[in-house]
Amino acid sequence: MSVTEDTSKIKTSKLRPLPRWIFMSRWLQAPLYIGLIGAQGLYVWEFWRELAHLFEQMVVSDVTEVELMLIVLGLIDVVMISNLLVMVIVGGWETFVSRLALENHPDQPEWLSHVNAGVLKVKLATAIIGISSIHLLKTFINAEQYDTKLLLWQTLIHLTFVVSALAIAYTERIMKDVH
């Protein structure tokens, strides 16, 4: 047993029963993160299904550059959502449930060494902007197939995500400066 584990057991054991029980309740989130891992598995399946569909279309029929771009943007979208899931799963577990003890591990993501709830919110907001950008680009590529009202709403929603992310980042910066 390491000194850190020994110290944390001493600190935890000194907690009164109610605070200890409240502190342990964080483990109720474990099934949620496991569920998100399952959802990520579904995204991996979807990625390979879409990739196989792309190869099939390339062999069977002539695929236009626009069709190819839309399919590839769909693949990028799946990857970005999967990246978002990784950030939520790994960062959320590390922040809200328990340390992963990845210090000095060669595969530890760079961002994980300084993750906290604020950093996680900003990273999630920027990931959502990226995903929204892909959806907006897919819509604009096929703009002639959509109503102007839909294009306007998608653009406004995307801008709302951007403004929200800036507000979150600004708030986090203010909070960091206060502490």
In a domain, 6, yes or no: no
User: Domain count of the chain?
Assistant: 1
Q: pLDDT band at 34, cuts 50/70/90?
A: very high
Residue 22 inside a domain? The answer is no
Average pLDDT over residues 143-164: 93
Decide if 128 is inside a domain: yes
Residues 6+ apart with CB under 8 A from 84: 124, 127, 128, 131
Does the residue 71 lie in any domain?
yes
Alpha helices in the chain (DSSP H): 3-13, 17-24, 30-60, 65-86, 92, 117-141, 148-178
Range of the domain at 53: 30-178
**Highest mean predicted confidence (pLDDT) among 11-25, 47-61, 74-88, 152-166:** 152-166
Is 24 inside a domain boundary? no
Asked, for residue 23, whether it belongs to a domain, the answer is no
Which residue has better confidence, 7 or 159?
159
Predicted confidence band of residue 108 (pLDDT cuts 50, 70, 90): confident
User: Does the predicted model carry a pTM greater than 0.75?
Assistant: no
Q: Is residue 5 part of a domain?
A: no
In a domain, 50, yes or no: yes
